[in-house]
Structure 1
């Protein structure tokens, strides 16, 4: 069974989104070993300079590298958008041939370190729109669940 890790930077502060994450984590149990990992964001001043932001992103990238357990997929604005069907193929066909684990990473409010994005196996975007990180994690968990449902040919995806 494949290990699917969702790694986020920053604290989850919305109880209703935490509840949604728990629902999808339970739904994913038959399909994969799912781990949700939260790393703390580096604290910045109220008006951080570009240099301070770059240093924080670099420190966060180091923590991500240590915590990641598999092939890294970075969620970022520069990433490629995939249909649910294409994402299902990536998750259930392509990635298992490459590794027994995959880590999807969502960065802090300033995103991800450019070097980490370059190191990633793939850069992926969920939309051209901007979402709160906690909501993006729920949306990604739903798409992971949907991907397995598509692969199994159930009626979930219409």
Structure 2
């Protein structure tokens, strides 16, 4: 069974997000070993300088790097990433599993994104959309797409 890790910067507080994570975690338990790690987001001033943002991203990158599973395929969620259909993501995940990637780790940055060093380590930079979403909602959207990927692989009617 493939291990899926989602490393997220920022903690969910809203009950509706927490409930959605619980629901998709339950659904995914039939398909993979899921681990979700919430890491603290660096505090920034209301109008942070580029230097302050760079420092926050570097600190978050160090924390993320320390939590990365060994021998994992990294997928960085970022706005400049590749846009994939649900079917294409499912195929990509299946290719990774076939190629021996028993562990896949998705990275979701905080409100200012991910440090470039993390993006450089990724086997795939993935974008959900050219639109902007709250990073907490992106977590739910990602969980749904991972679940959908497994449903596509087993030929379920979930994906129409």
TM-score by length of 2: 0.95
Where in structure 2 are the equivalents of 1:13-28 lying within 5 Å?
13-28=13-28
Deviations 1:49-107 (A, max 9, x none): 11011011011011111112221110001100101111001112224514210110110
Where in structure 2 are the equivalents of 1:64-75 lying within 5 Å?
64-69=64-69, 70-75=72-77
1: CA distance between counterparts of 2:97 and 2:80?
21
Q: What is the root-mean-square deviation in Å for CA atoms of aligned residues? A: 1.1
Contact 2:111/2:135 (8 A) holds in 1: yes
Q: How far does residue 147 in structure 1 lie from its aligned partner after superposition?
A: 0.3
2: CA distance between counterparts of 1:24 and 1:123?
23
1:88 aligns with 2:90: yes
Contact 2:75/2:107 (8 A) holds in 1: yes
2: CA distance between counterparts of 1:85 and 1:77?
20
Q: How far does residue 125 in structure 1 lie from its aligned partner after superposition?
A: 0.2
1: CA distance between counterparts of 2:150 and 2:6?
16
Contact 1:2/1:96 (8 A) holds in 2: no
Deviations 1:10-57 (A, max 9, x none): 121211011001000000011000011100011122221110110110
Contact 1:53/1:110 (8 A) holds in 2: yes
**What's 1:42 paired with?**
42
**What's 1:30 paired with?**
30
TM-score by length of 1: 0.96
**What's 1:113 paired with?**
115
The number of equivalent residue pairs is: 158
Deviations 1:107-153 (A, max 9, x none): 01000111211121110000011111111110110100000000000
Task: Could you tell me which runs of 5 or more consecutive residues in structure 1 were left unpaired when the two chains were aligned.
Answer: none
Contact 2:2/2:97 (8 A) holds in 1: no
